[in-house]
Structure 1
Amino acid sequence: MTAVETRLCELLLREHFGELVSRAGTHLVHTGPQPLRLVALGTGLNLDQVKKALCVLLQHGMASFKTGKRGASGPTWVEYTADYAAMLRMLRYTRYVYCAKTLYGDAGELLIEETLQHGQLTMSAAVRRVADRMASTADEGKTVEYSDVAAAFTNLVNTHFLQRWLSGKEEGEGARPEAAPTLVSNETDMYTVPKIPLIGHGKRRLSADSDDLDAHPAKKRKVEEPLPDDGIYWRVNFERFHQHFHNQAIVSAVASKLDKTAGEIVRTMLRMSELTTPPNTAFTQLLASTEIFRSLPPEYGMTKPVLDQYLSLLADDPMEFVTKSGESGGGTFIVNLLKSLKTMARCTLESIVQERFGSRAARIFRLLLQKRHLEQKQVEDFAMIPAKEAKEMLYTMVSQNFVTLQEIPKAADYAPARTFYLYTVNVEQTARFILQRCYKTVTNLIARRHHETKENKRLLEKAQRIEAILASVQASGADEAQLQEIEEMITATERQQLENLKRTVNKLDKSEMQVDETVFLLETFLQASRPQ
């Protein structure tokens, strides 16, 4: 855990959960596992504040706990540990929500959004919240049935984008209470949707709802009655989303290298095995060409001979995204997930070198990737670049940690005249270096966005007040003259400042998402390259 990652975790926690959670979470990231009182002592917060902060982190899966004991008969304590990887995933929340919207529409988008906001939710609570939100924005006279939202929830579970969260282990009667509950997971029920009656439709939220509940205690008690799926909580399956993003990147790479039809064939192969392929595996399951042909969407209108030609072309391609592994069933094929990750990571590094140092440096970098080890004279000859220019580029990339220099002595004295100096590229080391630079970039983008918002805080508050006044006046049926007079409360200069601020914040948000795409690719590559 580097200082850059710690700083990024601190900014993300403060942005999503506030100052208290940020202080407690950052302290655990710095110190490692600690009991409650040490966290309170280290952060300067009182015990109640630390308990609330830890509850938020545990609710969102960004912290865990375990019990410890000093000696056989000593006291038992509970230690809390921060999960910084889960904190860094907050960068990708908008991408998860957009992916759900693309696959399952507005209902899927809001279900994932509500689950991310609350960390974990029961099915009935999520369905009702989403139905109410959709009803509030729907046209007059249009209703949103609970059954429709429940169908989208079931689709998300069946495709493993949602999964059950850990549940507490039941204790026998008369058993001594534990210092902390024991959480267990049932693999068989991980993707089993409970059968609960969800009858009704979403309700528009009115300002008088809270007053109505206070005036009718019986109605309030009815609302607080336990639901049939109480205790069965669901959370977002981040590994499944990451698998989907990885598959989309493979499809895009194949489509750009060959054509769109080849990309759709690979998409079909990945879709056939996405639920049966375990995470962090190197290959998909074996797929026969006849099965691939039957699974192709009929709108493609592709014949079996054309499919066989495309599969042969994919298997012979130097990228090796698809590999032929047998002849049964018209030929069996697999998608090489690990090889595709390495290829895409290398292409990303090559593009970064080209943007930073130019096309000739990218040619040298690509040459070192292909040849593994080269002397300076060999680099000059193979790359066909003048000696002075090649030397400058090599030394620049060595100083920037993109290229490493390896010394191989002929004798034990390491004399320069009797030593080979070989240039090489350590892909994993370079990927780690670029990943840290990406984290630093995202940290700067978030800090800049906060600075821009803070500098224009008064103007933003004024604009929000005027928008609220306009909404209330329009609801009361005001004429155009009154609306025009309210709108003129913001001067032309202030309106221009608001437009500039909006443009700047949008540009920073877009840059943050683009950097996160590189972060995701490099993180996935480094995770897959670790020895299992």
Structure 2
Amino acid sequence: MTAQEVRLCGLLLQEHFGDVVENVGTHLIRNGVLTLRALAQETKLALDLVKKSLCVLVQHGMCAFGPGRRGPVGPVEYHINCEHIIHMLRYPRYIYTAKSLYGDTGELIVEEILQRGQMTMSSTVKTVADRLTHNMPEGQSMDYNEVVSAFSRLVETHFLQRCPPMASAGSSGSGSAETPPAVTQPSNPESHPDCYKLPYISLSGQGKRRRSSEDGEADQRAAKKAKTDSRECGDEGIQWQVNFERFHLHFRDQAIISAVSCKLDQTSGEIVRTMLRMSEVTTPTNAAFTQALSANEIFRALPSNYNIARPILDQYLTLLVDDPMEFVGKAGDSGGGMYVVNLHRALANLARATLESVVQERFGSRSARIFRLLLRKRHLEQKQVEDFAMIPAKEAKEMLYTLLSENLVQLQEIPKTPDHAPSRTFYLYTVNQLPTARLLLQHCYKSIGNLIERRLYETKENKRLLEKSQRIEAILASLQATGAEATQLTEVEEMITAPERQQLESLRHHINKLDSSENQVDETIFLLESYINSTQASR
């Protein structure tokens, strides 16, 4: 783990779970593997607090534990999963994707499971139905069967999966103090054959409307009844979690479709979308290509509103295969031609476009021209760079040295003689895309950490004003619910002065810009991580 990743993980843990969990998580990241006693001693926290922090991390899939170096008779050791911590950056994106695919019900299902880490199907259905009913007009309520249907669709498309069977954390010799309460160690979810199998549950009824004066007590009663309800519904012990990998495959597919649509046209993007949709569940996570599909299958699966004739489809497929970006490849001639989407090639091209964009934004169009030239030609001497890029020698030399100092360009020496004399050595400039992508990824981690720190600072500096605004909004909501007069509402609204209102608007504008910037940087992080992982998997 690099320093920037450790810092980013610490900020995310602190924002979502508080200082104690952040302290425990950061120590685990820096030390790799620790026992419960060692963790309590190093963090100087009470043993009970450390146990509860570990429970939170395990519940959200961010921490795992198992037998230590002494085997089953020794204490249990804990290690943290930093990738799952960084996934918290994408929680809004996961929720928005569920909303766009499955509506408000799918959105709330994914949101509830992300907030709690893992939940049973029955408790999720009841919680979501209650929330939807609370937002409906009086006299209307959400039926449980509608929520069950949305939950089932999310499982069928692999956006939700069962938590894997629990394995024992250690033998009785390890001692109860070394095991956190109420959790056990999960195994790999993908190795579980029934991870997408829905249980039979008997749920009937509708969501209930919360009473504002009893919200806290109602939540506590609902939490106490959750275990009893799951027994009655037949899904006791079956916990469900969000399948991050499936969401990431969807994001990757959307990026590929967007790139094809921008490079060619919407029809080409729709053809690629159809190919990806047909093989989205059957294609392995790290596969270089999608499942081979015949032109006849693609033609039958195209949306009817496009009205693409078969000869036109053949022309589009030929165009996609011949395109230099090589998003689509031909795998055979049977069935009118067998076609695949080159996933690894597509990710490499997307990462390359990202690197070129960064160089252009930071160093200008001429430096970007040199960078693209080195990517295409692989190795060039300084004089060749000047000639091919058509840039004066002095300017080309300055740009090359600037890129070299930023580690975006590398210099390779090829000596003619064993003595490495400068006069008898070729000096070739080159760009290694994979190390450059890793470098840019670290810059992105640093940038998003700075954005989070700035947002937390802005919120802390204006804490009093935000609390006042929230109190007034709560008062207005309660008055509107009771049918108060307009004069009363106006009096409450005037409790915030004009300068305070202006300061609030400015603060919200800044926070929205910071949130938007975080999402944009995270999109770059996702593309670079996908490219790096696909490159490592293909080696």
TM-score by length of 1: 0.95
1:36-87 residue CA offsets vs partner (Å, 9 max, x unmatched)? 011111111110000000000000000100112537xx84210000111111
Q: Deviations over 1:340-399 (max 9, x none)?
A: 000110011011111111111111110100110000000011111110111011001001
1:431: how far off? 0.5
Q: Deviations over 1:234-292 (max 9, x none)?
A: 11111110000000011001101110000000000000000000001100111000000
Cα distance in 2 for residues equivalent to 1:222 and 1:242: 31
Q: How far apart are residue 210 of structure 1 and its match?
A: 6.5
Identify the residue that residue 425 of structure 1 maps to in structure 2: 431
Question: In structure 2, the residue corresponding to 1:189 is in which secondary structure?
Answer: coil
Alpha-carbon deviations, 1:416-473, whole Å to 9, x = none? Answer: 1111110000101110111111111100100000110111111111111112222223
Deviations 1:15-37 (A, max 9, x none): 11111111100110011110001
Task: Letter of the 1:40 partner, please give it.
Answer: A
**Alignment correspondent of 2:449:** 443
**Alignment partner, residue 126 of structure 1:** 124
Give the equivalent residue in structure 2 for 1:28. Answer: 28
Separation in 2 of the partners of 1:208 and 1:412?
Answer: 85
AA matched with 1:139: P
Look up the match of 1:203. Answer: 208
Which residue in the other structure is 1:96 paired with? 94
8 Å Cα contact 2:67/2:74 also seen in 1: yes
Is it true that 1:274 corresponds to 2:274 in the alignment? no
Number of the residue aligned with 1:374: 380
Which amino acid letter does the alignment assign opposite residue 344 of structure 1? Answer: L
In 2: Cα distance, 1:424 partner to 1:508 partner:
35
1:148 is matched with which residue? 146
> Taking structure 1 as reference, are residues 291 and 441 closer, same or farther at Cα in structure 2, changes over 3 Å only?
same
Contact 2:414 2:425 in 1 (8 A): yes
Q: Given that residues 5 and 445 in structure 2 are in contact (C-alpha distance below 8 angstroms), is that contact kept between their aligned partners in structure 1?
A: yes
Q: Which amino acid aligns with 2:352?
A: R
Aligned partner of 2:363 among 333, 340, 357? 357
C-alpha distance in structure 1 between counterparts of 2:454 and 2:487, whole Å: 39
The answer to whether 1:496 aligns with 2:494 is no
Question: In 1, are the aligned partners of 2:288 and 2:342 still within 8 Å (CA)?
Answer: yes
The letter for the 2-side match of 1:244 is: H
Range moving further from structure 2, 85-94 or 133-142: 133-142
Residue 178 of structure 1: CA displacement?
Answer: 7.7
Q: Letter of the 1:164 partner, please give it.
A: R
For 2:114, which of 113, 116, 120 is the aligned residue?
A: 116
- Please give the alpha-carbon distance, in whole angstroms, between the structure 2 residues aligned to 1:270 and 1:471: 46
Distance 2:332 2:483 in 1: 73
Distance 1:480 1:221, change over 3 A: closer
Is the CA contact (8 Å cut-off) linking 1:167 and 1:231 kept in structure 2?
no
Query: CA 1:108 to 1:87, structure 2 compared with 1: closer, same or farther past 3 Å?
Result: same
CA separation in 1, counterparts of 2:114 and 2:82? 17
The amino acid across from 1:373 in the alignment is: H
Distance 1:222 1:337, change over 3 A: closer
Q: Tell me how far apart the structure 1 counterparts of residues 199 and 313 of structure 2 sit (CA, whole Å).
A: 41
Shift of 1:160: 0.4
Asked whether the 8 Å contact 1:324–1:333 carries over to 2, the reply is yes
Structure-1 separation of matches of 2:456 and 2:31: 27
In 1, the alpha carbon distance for the partners of 2:455 and 2:434 equals 31
Task: Give the gaps of 5 or more residues in structure 1.
Answer: none
Q: 1:22 to 1:268 in 2, by over 3 A?
A: same
Alignment correspondent of 2:60: 60
CA distance in 2, matches of 1:428, 1:473: 59
Q: Which moved more, 1:468-477 or 1:247-256?
A: 468-477
Measured against aligned partners, the alpha-carbon deviations of 1:130-162 in whole angstroms (never above 9, x if no partner) come to 111111111222221110011000000000000
Moved more, 266-275 or 469-478: 469-478
Q: Is the 8 A contact 2:288 2:344 kept in 1?
A: yes
Following TM superposition, by how much is the alpha carbon of 1:208 offset from its aligned partner in structure 2, in angstroms? 5.0
Matching residue's letter, 1:333: Y
Shift of 1:325: 1.4
Q: 2:235 aligns with which of 229, 251, 272?
A: 229
Q: Distance in 2 between matches of 1:261 and 1:221?
A: 52
Q: Give the distance between the partners of 2:215 and 2:368, measured in 1 at CA.
A: 63
- Does the Cα contact within 8 Å between 2:409 and 2:429 map onto a contact in 1? yes
Following the alignment from structure 1 to structure 2, what is the Cα–Cα distance between the partners of residues 283 and 52? 44
Q: Tell me, in whole angstroms, the C-alpha distance in 1 between the residues paired with 2:216 and 2:195.
A: 40
Q: 1:85 aligns with which of 75, 83, 86?
A: 83
Q: Is the 8 A contact 2:227 2:236 kept in 1?
A: no
Aligned partners of 2:123 and 2:226 also within 8 Å: no
Note if 1:47 corresponds to 2:53: no
The residue identity in structure 1 corresponding to 2:14 is R
Structure 1 residues 115-514: aligned runs within 5 Å: 115-169=113-167, 181=184, 183-184=186-187, 187-207=192-212, 209=214, 224-225=228-229, 226-227=231-232, 228-514=234-520
Q: Which runs of 5+ in 2 are unaligned?
A: none
Equivalents in 2 of 1:170, 1:310: separation in Å?
A: 55
Residues 390 and 31 of structure 1, relative CA distance in 2, 3 Å threshold: same
The one-letter code matched in structure 2 to 1:351 is S
- DSSP 3-state at the match of 1:109: helix
Amino acid of the residue matched to residue 272 of structure 1? M
Separation of aligned partners in 2, 1:307 and 1:428: 35
User: Residues 456 and 208 from structure 1, CA distance in 2 versus in 1: closer, same or farther, beyond 3 angstroms?
Assistant: closer
Q: State the secondary structure of the residue aligned to 1:188.
A: coil
Whole-Å separation in 1 of the counterparts to 2:528 and 2:343: 14
Amino acid at match of 2:460: K
SS in 2 for 1:66: strand
In structure 2, C-alpha distance between the alignment counterparts of 1:212 and 1:456, rounded to whole Å:
31
The secondary structure found in structure 1 opposite 2:90 is helix
How many Å separate the matches in 2 of 1:394 and 1:188?
54
Residue 381 and residue 113 in structure 1: after superposition, are their counterparts in 2 closer, same or farther (change >3 A)? same
Instruction: For 1:308, give the aligned amino acid.
Output: D
**Is the contact between residue 69 and residue 75 of structure 1 (CA under 8 Å) also seen in structure 2?**
no
Q: 1:6 aligns to what?
A: 6
Q: Could you say what secondary structure the match of 1:198 adopts?
A: coil
CA distance in 2, matches of 1:187, 1:304: 42
Alignment RMSD: 2.1
Q: Calculate percent identity across the aligned residue pairs.
A: 60
Aligned length: 524
Measure, in 1, the Cα distance between the counterparts of 2:216 and 2:244.
39
Give, in whole Å, the separation in 2 of the partners of 1:378 and 1:473. Answer: 75
- Residues in 2 aligned to 1:222 and 1:253: alpha-carbon distance in whole angstroms: 46
Superposed CA deviations along residues 160-198 of structure 1, whole A, max 9, x for unmatched, are: 000111222599xxx978866564556321111111111
Confirm or deny: 8 A CA contact 1:7 1:443 kept in the other structure: yes
Question: How much has 1:501 moved relative to structure 2?
Answer: 0.3
> What amino acid is aligned across from residue 258 of structure 1 in structure 2?
L
Q: Distance in 1 between matches of 2:75 and 2:333?
A: 60
